[in-house]
Amino acid sequence: MISTPAILRSYGLLALVSLSLSAATASPAVAGLVPNEDVEIDSDMNNVPDDWFMGSNTSYIDNDDSDGVGTHSVEFRGPNTDWRSSEFPVTAGSNVTWSIDYKFLGGATGQIRADLRFFEGSGNFNFQGEHAILIDASNPDAWQTLGPNNFIVPGVATVADVRVSSYFGSGFGGDVRLDNFNVVPEPSTIALIVLVICASVRRNRIA
């Protein structure tokens, strides 16, 4: 018969693994990969959020945030322009989940496109693939969320970026605002596997 201290140790291990699993499945915002994903930081106060790049006809908005956590979003107007994040590291073959908040202003028509793009090496070197989604102008003046979408990091990609643009689709007219560019690795199954193993060990010891 297993001793009381051993049982307590077993329960303690199970509790520790359970806490690890809870941490792995916590809110995606905690583990976001996109630098300055909520576009709140503009450290040099030049009206361009840190770690972001933009095309023509763009704006940095300081009084319209998608979820009320902060005050900022970004905007572009009309065709042939974009907002793009700086690159961030990814692991080929891993699963990622991504989402973007967007709001078409009244009068907007056509489509925009959101791309999660993958490359081998820094500086957009050796394109490895992308997950591209067209978004139709709809629900004017209301924040909406694209996603969450799941995707497997392709090829031998080591970095990725997020781009939202009006280069593609049926053409875009009007204004769209963007916020909360969230990309996270899916929660690892390792903690769950360890939990099952620990439970099995505990049963064998008590038997």
CATH number at residue 77: 2.60.120.260
- Is the same domain home to 141 and 62? yes
Query: Model-level pTM?
Result: 0.77
**Alpha carbon of residue 38 to chain centroid:** 10
- DSSP string for residues in 100-121: EEEEEPTT-EEEEEEEEEEESS
- Is the same domain home to 35 and 73? yes
Tokens found for residue 6: 């051993």
Provide the domain limits for residue 104: 29-186
- Is the same domain home to 35 and 94? yes
Residue-wise pLDDT for 117-132, tens only, equals 999 988 767 999 999 9
Nearest residue to 17 (alpha-carbon basis) of 203, 189, 205 = 189
The fraction of the chain above a pLDDT of 70, given in percent, is 75
Residue-wise pLDDT for 128-147, tens only, equals 999 999 999 999 999 999 99
- Is the same domain home to 33 and 13? no
- Is the same domain home to 9 and 111? no
Q: For residues 73 and 49, what is the distance between their CA atoms, to the nearest angstrom?
A: 9
Tokens found for residue 158: 């080591």
- Is the same domain home to 38 and 103? yes
Residue-wise pLDDT for 72-83, tens only, equals 999 999 999 999
- Is the same domain home to 15 and 38? no
- Is the same domain home to 140 and 206? no
Q: Could you give the number of structural domains in the chain? A: 2
